[in-house]
Amino acid sequence: MKFTSYGHSCFAVEINNKHLLFDPFISGNELAAAIQVDEIKADYIFISHGHADHILDAEAIAIRTGATVICTWEIHEWLHAKGVTNTHPMNIGGERAFDFFTVKCTVAQHSSMLLDASYGGNPMGFIITANEQSFYYSGDTALTMDMQLIPLWAKLQFAVLPIGDNFTMGMQDAVRAALFVKTTTVVGVHYDTFGYIKINHQEAIDVFAKEGIKLHLLAVGEEMDFSNL
């Protein structure tokens, strides 16, 4: 599982030479100015919820790549109306096998309105399992008791969690989330992009380390291999 950060909560995980892209938001992110949106590879695109900082570049990337977009029913319908037809609607609690991986959609405590004020359905997170390895991306969310269910479904290689506070969990709650989902490896997302969510990196690394958890704060464009932890 090769992980690539594209800034904010946008990242890709490469499995079996296929590219799973999450929450594409690049062209609106000043910190991701070095990333070329029209060069990003995608075979599958996952959208956790409808906010612009998670969906802004989804339409363009989906149309260029022909990737299958996995999202809520409401976002699926919204994308169809825009001419993005290779979509697969899911909802919280649902699990489904795709060609080389399975997806389970998890609860996220947040909100979800699309760019034109359409309702985006409930926000969600995803557990992806492939080749007997799993990871969890919580999406934008508060810390929730539901996260304690995740170890019943998957033994995680790593988790991708928001740590920027204000709109989502902050670093302290993200540590609790990591303990709930039983992982010792976390990739922090949803921080620094806007003034509201600027964090002190060393402080974040330290609060995770106190609980024996390694927090990775990847630079935009940085890659990391999480296969052999």
Q: How far apart are CA 107 and CA 40, in angstroms?
A: 28
Alpha-helix residue ranges (DSSP H) falling in 7-112: 52-55, 58-65, 73-81
Q: Is 69 exposed, middle or buried (0-12, 13-18, 19+ CB in 10 A)?
A: buried
Residue number, 8 or 51, with CB nearest to Ni ion: 51
Instruction: Quote the least distance from Cβ 209 to Mn ion, whole Å.
Output: 26
Q: Which does 104 bind (CB under 5 to 8 A by kind): Ni ion, Mn ion, none?
A: none
| Nearest residue to 185 (alpha-carbon basis) of 151, 146, 155, 157 | 157
Q: Which residues pair with 97 in a beta bridge?
A: 102
Residue number, 46 or 101, with CB nearest to Mn ion: 46
Q: How far apart are CA 22 and CA 57, in angstroms?
A: 11
Residue number, 112 or 129, with CB nearest to Mn ion: 112
Q: 124 to 143, contacts with Ni ion by CB under 5 A?
A: 140
Instruction: Quote the least distance from Cβ 112 to Ni ion, whole Å.
Output: 7
- Of 50-58, 89-97, 177-185, 207-215: span binding Ni ion (CB under 5 A): 50-58
Q: Which residues bind Mn ion (CB under 5 A)?
A: 51, 53, 140
Residue number, 140 or 192, with CB nearest to Ni ion: 140
Contact 23, 9 (CB under 8 A): yes
Instruction: Quote the least distance from Cβ 166 to Ni ion, whole Å.
Output: 11
Residue number, 21 or 130, with CB nearest to Ni ion: 21
Q: Which does 57 bind (CB under 5 to 8 A by kind): Ni ion, Mn ion, none?
A: none
Buried residues in 161-173 as b, exposed as e (16+ CB within 10 A): bbbbbebbbbbeb
Question: Is residue 8 a contact point for Ni ion (CB under 5 A)?
Answer: no
Q: How far apart are CA 100 and CA 127, in angstroms?
A: 14
At residue 82's C-alpha, the angle toward residues 76 and 85, to 5°, is 50
Instruction: Quote the least distance from Cβ 113 to Mn ion, whole Å.
Output: 12
Instruction: Quote the least distance from Cβ 137 to Ni ion, whole Å.
Output: 13
Question: Is residue 165 a contact point for Ni ion (CB under 5 A)?
Answer: no
Instruction: Quote the least distance from Cβ 124 to Ni ion, whole Å.
Output: 12
Question: Is residue 51 a contact point for Ni ion (CB under 5 A)?
Answer: yes
Q: What are the residues binding Ni ion (CB under 5 A)?
A: 51, 140
